[in-house]
Structure 1
Amino acid sequence: MRLTDEEDAILNGSAGPIRARAMAHIVEVGRFFDAERLVEVSQAHIMADTEALGETGVAYLEGLAAADWEDRRVVIPTITDPRGADFKAYDRIRHDRAIVTLEERARDAFMALGVMMTDTCINYQTIMPPVKGEHLAFGDTGVCIYSNSVFGARTNYEGGPSALASALTARAPAYGFHLDRNRRATQRVIVEAELADYLDWGALGALIGERMGSYFEVPYVEGINAANSDQLKHFGAAMASYGSTALYHVAGLTPEADEALDGREVPEIKLNRADIDSYADRFRREDDTLDVVVFAVPQLSLIELGELAGHLDGRRVVDGTTLIATTNPEMKSAADRMGITKRIEDAGGILLEGVCYYQMHARELAEANGWHRLMTNSAKLTNTIAGYGYAPMVASMARCVDSAVAGRVV
């Protein structure tokens, strides 16, 4: 690997031991992926909830936070993924106080490093969206695929330690989706169906992701004539979850689509309405029991929160069933100001901020509340939550709300 004089100096301690260790980490990751050089990055997004960190990870952050400011501070704008607890509402869902305390310690350590506690997986809808060609060190898979695909920015999936190392050095290894050659389409997907609600978009993303053979597969999607930010959010998040896919192109919509095929012939996949409907059929159950309805993963935009409030207006979630929605602090503040939060909570729902369901110790929540049967409109959550002991079912937002009001799957 070829380092610049500045990078080599940092590696050898010119900027202190913390940055030297961070640069060594980046170099080792780069060598693993056969990177020939590093690339300068302008933003970092860190996945580091306490379910991933544990006591050891939090103690490591606290060790960094104890160093002198000039040695420990991040050198590029650095933000955080959702946390593991909503500090303002954890008691409403019987969150273990020990988990909350660990989250508070992690928060304090990050703030001491100069990290902005945005606590969001939808920073692209809220905080400084990246631009085409901008090199990033982003962590959350939904954040990465949206930034790569919809904006034409450049990032790989960076684990928490790697994103933090980039935040401390403004560098990342130049491999994967930082390079032009890896951003070209490898498969063509022809969609022969009209997409209705967010579930359809998530189902389509899941089906495409399942058909990708590796992280470096890049689908080129045809047949989608229009899409908004929330639709592409569900589409990409599900694709990334089911396929580890980090980049897609949509003909006529995304910024790099025109040059993605470059006249090449690539394998072709066709997906129709029956395929999309079959996704939800996988999760059908014989009984209609229901414990918790969750709108999250990714966090909800202000538009989605307004839609949810509209479905709940004049209705009430039945006793014995819990309805939870999650968003980031900025969206929550706006929802409070606009009366959206009140409409959701007057109907018996719970709106949490700064968290996302599968990252907030979901197994412990299930045990504390007696939850097993979960209903959601998120394909990504459906894919991840079974590993935490839930029996998930996926449906449209409207049907999920109808079920929460009825206290059973309808």
Structure 2
Amino acid sequence: MSLISCGRTLVAGEAGGELLSAELGLSFWGGVDPRTGIVIDQHHPLCNRSLAGRVLAIPSGRGSCSGSGVLLELILNGHAPAAIVISEREEILTLGAMVAEVVFDRSIPVLRVDREVFARIGEYQYARVAGSSLQLLHEPPAENGQPIPAQHGSSEDTTIHLDPIDQAFLSGEHGKAAQVAMRLLLRMAAVQEAEAFMDVSQVHVDGCIYTGPASLRFAEMLVAWGARVRVPTTLNAISVDKRRWRAQGVADDLGRPASALAGAYHAMGAEPSFTCAPYLLETAPKFGEQVGWAESNAVVYANSVIGARTMKYPDYLDICIALTGRAPLAGCHLDAGRRATLALNVEMPRDTDDSFWPLLGYCCGSVCGTEIPLIRGLETSAAEPDALKAFGAAFATVAAAPMFHIAGITPEADGQSPERQVRIELSALQQAWEALNTAASPEIGLVSLGNPHFSLGEFAHLAALVRGRTKAADVAIVVTCGRAVFEGAAQAGHVAEAEAFGVQFVNDTCWCMLGEPVIPPAVRTLMTNSGKYAHYAPGLVGRGVRFGSMAACVEAACSGRAQLEPPAWLI
């Protein structure tokens, strides 16, 4: 027996194959190898499984906005899933398939089905997608079997209102690059059920991260088509330190294309800010400002902590917004799209250190999925921006939601009253600690700090922790940071104090893009204070991880050993 149902076509097409399903969303960036299609996220139930040629069924994407770039690489190199079936709102993977179709004339179908249908997918071993139809089977489909009814229709078909400027972009009056950008924006507007477009004041582009040859091909095509940004545009951290990658020993086959990709976006008029923490720049948006940001932690911080308004824009849609200055009026751009639908009640432990915030962010993100949460119980914590930065980065790593509210702390928390409630117990924080500490050995060879990029406050904190101390000779300690913050820290004297201890600094890129030789080949275990990097590092660089506070990281740099036990506040 088979089950046939209909869903909503996000990207049209027809495909079938072995079914690979999970009840947990998957971040393609940091979770899937863009060269092979093998799942590398060691925290995911599909870890070590190949997506190539299979029908992938997951509730949604999650985590990094660069997942669209990874899917595009897989589609163009032949290691993509045959089709993707989802049950929740999903834009990152959908956009990757759209870019493949619109720009490269290759794609895979993406279908959204009801939650009730998705709940039964695990009962089956094979699936076929045809337009809006899904067939689930226990046995491989016969080659000459009865075709399932297919309802084809592009998600570009929409009744969205177009202003004269939108029509001008679409007709090609402003050049081919802007025309292609508007086509992609129109497709995404239909997915988001937007009724119109809106102006944005600035854009932060995440698509400058080098995911493989396709990412460079896309950017260079835009440049060849005369692409120029129409609003102020900053660039995310790229895949190498653009000024020093050769001196750092980075191989040409990464350094050259990654640097060329950054150069292509700069040629379009984007500012070479090269930071994953654009909220630390002087150009950071103000409360209520409508912007078009990508980079998962930046989106969450902008929406939640600043109160600016942006969707969690996928890579490649970000530059489309920059080329037009237009974005779909939907989701977090609207009051209704910013409301909390889930309350997370936290009992804050006493005498916590700064590892509390990424641990809690990891817990909250794991629970909420696509829902925007209101977090209660932290009203007296006096959370500083760096704490919220660490919380938001870990939250965005495992959640699909574009923002959070924290009662008494974030600017839009007042008046939020979701009915559904979940309690975050101390045991959940303990489980997060165990999940992020994947190395059994206490011996470490590298301390990695700055994911997201270091702030000036973190520079000052580190300088105070290392003052008058001596680092172990066989332990490297490396900080990644943006150029602007690094210059400010140098003027304040923090860089000199850290370098006296033995800290090395890397600009332009961050830990999610770094590998050997910046990570010494002999290092088997690293330590970090980043919940985001503790999650991604085992899959990205094949190292065990110890996680802890910044003070614990400095202690480990001095002794060469990490403390295996959780901090006292967590016991």
TM-score strictly above 0.5? yes
**CA deviation profile, 1:83-119 (whole Å, cap 9, x unmatched):** 1111344356532233222232123222211100111
Q: Distance in 1 between matches of 2:314 and 2:562?
A: 37
- In the TM superposition, what are the counterparts of 1:5-16 in structure 2 within 5 Å? 5-16=164-175
Q: Distance in 2 between matches of 1:300 and 1:164?
A: 25
Partner of 1:266: 419
**Aligned alpha-carbon RMSD (Å):** 2.0
Aligned with 2:368: secondary structure?
coil
Picking from 231, 239, 264, the partner of 2:387 is: 231
Picking from 525, 540, 564, the partner of 1:373 is: 525
Moved more, 300-309 or 177-186: 177-186
Superposition misfits of 4+ residues, deviation over 6 angstroms: none
Q: Distance in 2 between matches of 1:50 and 1:210?
A: 25
Partner of 1:46: 205
The answer to whether the aligner puts 1:64 opposite 2:216 as a matched pair is no
Partner of 1:399: 552
The structure richer in helix per residue is: 1
1:64 offset after TM fit, Å? 2.9
Task: Call closer, same or farther: CA 1:253–1:195 in 2, change over 3 Å.
Answer: farther
Moved more, 54-63 or 75-84: 54-63
**CA deviation profile, 1:297-351 (whole Å, cap 9, x unmatched):** 1111011011112222222322222111111101111122222112112211111
1:386 offset after TM fit, Å? 1.6
| Contact 1:195-1:201 at 8 Å conserved across structures | no
Give the counterpart letter for 2:441 in structure 1. Answer: D
Moved more, 347-356 or 164-173: 347-356
Moved more, 307-316 or 164-173: 307-316
Aligned with 1:257: secondary structure?
coil
The answer to whether the aligner puts 1:97 opposite 2:252 as a matched pair is yes
| Contact 2:237-2:508 at 8 Å conserved across structures | yes
**CA deviation profile, 1:355-384 (whole Å, cap 9, x unmatched):** 211123x36755x62333111011111111
| Contact 2:207-2:319 at 8 Å conserved across structures | no
The answer to whether the aligner puts 1:74 opposite 2:226 as a matched pair is no
Give the counterpart letter for 2:195 in structure 1. Answer: E
Picking from 260, 265, 272, the partner of 1:117 is: 272
1:143 offset after TM fit, Å? 0.5
Give the counterpart letter for 1:279 in structure 2. Answer: A
Picking from 323, 326, 331, the partner of 1:168 is: 323
- Ranked by relative contact order (alpha carbons within 8 Å, sequence separation 6 or more), the top structure is 1
Picking from 448, 454, 461, the partner of 1:307 is: 461
The answer to whether the aligner puts 1:187 opposite 2:342 as a matched pair is yes
Give the counterpart letter for 1:65 in structure 2. Answer: V
TM-score, normalised relative to structure 1: 0.91
Partner of 1:151: 306
Aligned with 2:327: secondary structure?
strand
1:284 offset after TM fit, Å? 5.7
**CA deviation profile, 1:156-193 (whole Å, cap 9, x unmatched):** 11122100000000111222212222211111112211
Q: Distance in 1 between matches of 2:355 and 2:251?
A: 32
**CA deviation profile, 1:249-286 (whole Å, cap 9, x unmatched):** 1112222112322xxx5221222444334422331643
1:39 offset after TM fit, Å? 2.0
Partner of 1:331: 485
Aligned pairs, how many? 399
1:135 offset after TM fit, Å? 1.7
Return the index of the structure with the highest Cα Rg.
Answer: 2
Task: Call closer, same or farther: CA 1:161–1:142 in 2, change over 3 Å.
Answer: same
TM-score, normalised relative to structure 2: 0.67
Q: Distance in 1 between matches of 2:173 and 2:445?
A: 56
What are the ranges of 5 or more consecutive residues in structure 1 without an aligned counterpart? none
Give the counterpart letter for 2:481 in structure 1. Answer: T
Give the counterpart letter for 1:330 in structure 2. Answer: A
Partner of 2:364: 208
Give the counterpart letter for 1:152 in structure 2. Answer: G
**CA deviation profile, 1:44-93 (whole Å, cap 9, x unmatched):** 111134432x23322432333345xxx42201010011111113443565
Q: Distance in 2 between matches of 1:153 and 1:235?
A: 18
